Structure 1
Amino acid sequence: MMEQCKEKLNIAMFGQKRIPSREGGVEIVVEELCTRMVAQGHNVTCYNRGGHHVSGSEYDSKRLKEYKGIKLKTVPTIEKKGLAAVSSSFFAALCCAFGKYDVVHIHAEGPAFFAWLPKLFGKKVIVTIHGLDWQREKWKSGFGSKFIHQGEKNAVNYADEIIVLSKGVQDYFEKTYGRKTVFIPNGVSNHIERKPQIIKNKFGLDKDEYILFLGRLVPEKGIKYLIEAFKQVDTEKKLVIAGGSSDTSEFENKMKELAKADKRILFTGFVQGQALEELYSNAYVYVLPSDLEGMPLSLLEAMSYGNCCLVSDINECTDVVEDKAFVFKRSDINDLKNKLQDVCCHTGKVMKIKKNSSEFICKKYNWNNVVEETLIIY
């Protein structure tokens, strides 16, 4: 086994939108890694995008220069669709190339396009592939698609090590490029359950009265299947769809139109802080109906709050839950409807799964272990 390096490292990270922020899974991962690395005495600098929060400027936080010991630097960003990630990643890579860093850690395939730049200046480069981003609906054609495909290839060609979050992605890199990668899944923390206060006042939600989806409102999350299925379920429980749109609100508007005839379906918009904790804490069942995932952090979080989960049968979900959740056939509205009806009618089954959910997931996916394994790679 490799010995962990005891020296204090100068580490740079980019590829996230901004930290501190919950704009997506990447931001959560970067924050969890960096705060723990700083606590161990390493110097960490994160290069944040400029511009506004993905769910709207009302969620913008102050531009900090430091957060929990992490140095934060904001790079120039062209705030146009498709150019924000490209422009911010270029300037971040440039700063990393000229900065005094031992390791440059790049997150996601698009930003990895610029892996050659710090490499050219003698830096050690690590790339974490959070998922095969070119499979996502918004990157299936045009310039964005070409950019992300090339980012994947540049990761293969220039990164000293590639970290992947699922065995499926590991197999993909082996078969497609003959490139070995390191499998380090995401972690999760123990969470204290909260009584329904904010969600009761704001949305009229009480404990076990609702089924929850929480995530970005994008096509690959399977929200359309969930709405179609739930409309056919005989229950007084509500369906809560929590999360903001990504880039444009076109898809979100379509989903609201699809759901508007059913008064049981509630869209909360983007949530964070105590409201988010309350939603996780008081859900009857958490549903993740995705067609495509990298490593679903919302699923890990939902289970860490002791939730019973119902997930699509894609490997990225079933590898996480094992036999500790209910599973339906991906994109099959009828199967999803039947499973939803089943959990609504059989409270005992749901409570049995809730009992073991938190302990199981927190033991299986631990952030401290993730950080140790990452530092060994460094």
Structure 2
Amino acid sequence: MKVAMIGHKQIPSRVGGVEVVVENLSEQLVKKGIEVDAYNRKSKYQKKYKQYKGIRIYEVFTVQKKRLDAIVATFFATLKALRRNYDVYHYHAEGPCLMLWLPHLFHKRVVVTIHGLDWQRAKWGKLASKMLLTGEKFAVKYADEIIVLSQNIKKYFQDTYGRETIFIPNGVSKATYRKANLIKQNYGLTKNGYLLFLARIVPEKGLHYLIEAYKRMDTEIPLVIAGDWQYSVEYGKKIQQMCEKIPNIIMTGFVQGELLYELFSNALLYILPSEVEGMAISLLEAMSYGKCCLVSDIPENMEIARGYVETFRSGDANDLREKLEKILQEPDKRELLGKKAQEYVLAQYNWEQITDATIKVYEDK
């Protein structure tokens, strides 16, 4: 079987959850004997690969503009992929679905993974949101199968379009533990000595609520904010300005590799205040490291949580502050929640099982 992966930015990369999913899923598919080609968007910032862990990599032209990047890259990726006659064309995210009509026109098998309801995300303007919603409707019309990452989004597609979808969650790998070496050298951080937010810095992640809550706390425990704002520059500048006025906030920028492993390994608590999610990869990863997590109570987070994390009311900085102060006073509870969370995610969100379920979708006709 030959599969084309289309719609992500680049792999290997951690620029977003889509990229983490495409990389891990493709790697597992290759291990099971499936040929996988991934169509990366051309970028001067990304190392060029022809092959990565058995995945063939093809670069496609795009434009470096937020509102055009995905659609231009997907158009050229689709044209390139159609010349190679794949068994499955697997598209990721709603924007790239605007091109589904092309493989559908040639009677190709099209599978789509909806990583979230992208048109709801605050970083997009009215026109971009409308185009993303159109992409969603094209998925409903042209995809042979639609994979969703949460039961909440599955219900949304059924209620809105009467369209059946297949629930297959994201996966997570076993934690890669590291001692606090780089983070101590670079930021003065020690084991269990900081709070961690690790995600893209975009409005829907709700980081401004966390900063407001932290500002109102009487604590000397540093708050580490790890992530970049390449696709939401105005919001990133706003966050920077907020942080400049508050002691003990450390902004690391984008992290990956050893620095990422160290930040997860040594955090006291992981916090995710998002207002919109598909299925948060960073939350799964924090749980896999055995970390106590405090997350907003949106349905997509609650679906992962299942009583293994602490929650607060989404969009409520006061409730976040109260829950933060409370959990910081309960070390035994933090340890117990972290241990249970780790056991749960490694059992329920196993990449091998998720890959097998995806292959079944590819094969079912």
- Taking structure 1 as the reference length, the TM-score comes to 0.94
2:5 to 13, 16, 20: 13
Is the counterpart of residue 131 in structure 1 residue 123 in structure 2? no
Is the counterpart of residue 328 in structure 1 residue 288 in structure 2? no
1:114 to 83, 99, 103: 99
Per-residue Cα deviation, 1:200-249 (whole angstroms, up to 9, x for no partner): 10011001110000000011101000000011112221100100013242
1:1-378 correspondence runs (5 A): 9-52=1-44, 57=45, 60=46, 62-142=47-127, 144-378=128-362
Higher mean alpha-carbon deviation, 340-349 vs 313-322, is at: 340-349
Q: Cα RMSD between the aligned structures?
A: 1.1
Higher mean alpha-carbon deviation, 344-353 vs 157-166, is at: 344-353
CA contact (8 A) 1:96 1:118 kept: no
Residue type at the aligned position of 2:358: T
- Taking structure 2 as the reference length, the TM-score comes to 0.97
Deviation at 1:264, TM superposition (A): 1.0
Per-residue Cα deviation, 1:310-348 (whole angstroms, up to 9, x for no partner): 000001111101111111011111110001111222222
Identity of aligned residues (%): 50
Counterpart secondary structure, 1:48: strand
Deviation at 1:17, TM superposition (A): 0.1
Residue type at the aligned position of 1:128: T
CA contact (8 A) 1:130 1:294 kept: yes
Deviation at 1:91, TM superposition (A): 0.6
Per-residue Cα deviation, 1:44-82 (whole angstroms, up to 9, x for no partner): 111110124xxxx3xx3x211111111100011122231
Taking the aligned partners of 1:370 and 1:264, their CA distance within structure 2 comes to 40
Taking the aligned partners of 1:346 and 1:248, their CA distance within structure 2 comes to 36
Taking the aligned partners of 2:350 and 2:66, their CA distance within structure 1 comes to 35
Per-residue Cα deviation, 1:77-122 (whole angstroms, up to 9, x for no partner): 1222311111101011112222221100000000011111112112
Deviation at 1:140, TM superposition (A): 4.2
Counterpart secondary structure, 2:123: helix
CA contact (8 A) 2:202 2:231 kept: no
Taking the aligned partners of 2:8 and 2:353, their CA distance within structure 1 comes to 21
Taking the aligned partners of 1:314 and 1:248, their CA distance within structure 2 comes to 22
Taking the aligned partners of 2:33 and 2:280, their CA distance within structure 1 comes to 29
CA contact (8 A) 1:112 1:151 kept: yes
Deviation at 1:252, TM superposition (A): 1.4
Higher mean alpha-carbon deviation, 188-197 vs 276-285, is at: 188-197
CA contact (8 A) 2:201 2:232 kept: no
Residue type at the aligned position of 1:328: F
Counterpart secondary structure, 1:354: helix
Counterpart secondary structure, 2:217: coil
Counterpart secondary structure, 2:255: coil
Per-residue Cα deviation, 1:259-301 (whole angstroms, up to 9, x for no partner): 2222111111000100000000000000000111010000000
User: Displaced runs of 4+ in structure 1, greater than 4 A?
Assistant: none
CA contact (8 A) 2:202 2:232 kept: no
CA contact (8 A) 2:110 2:145 kept: yes
CA contact (8 A) 1:48 1:74 kept: yes
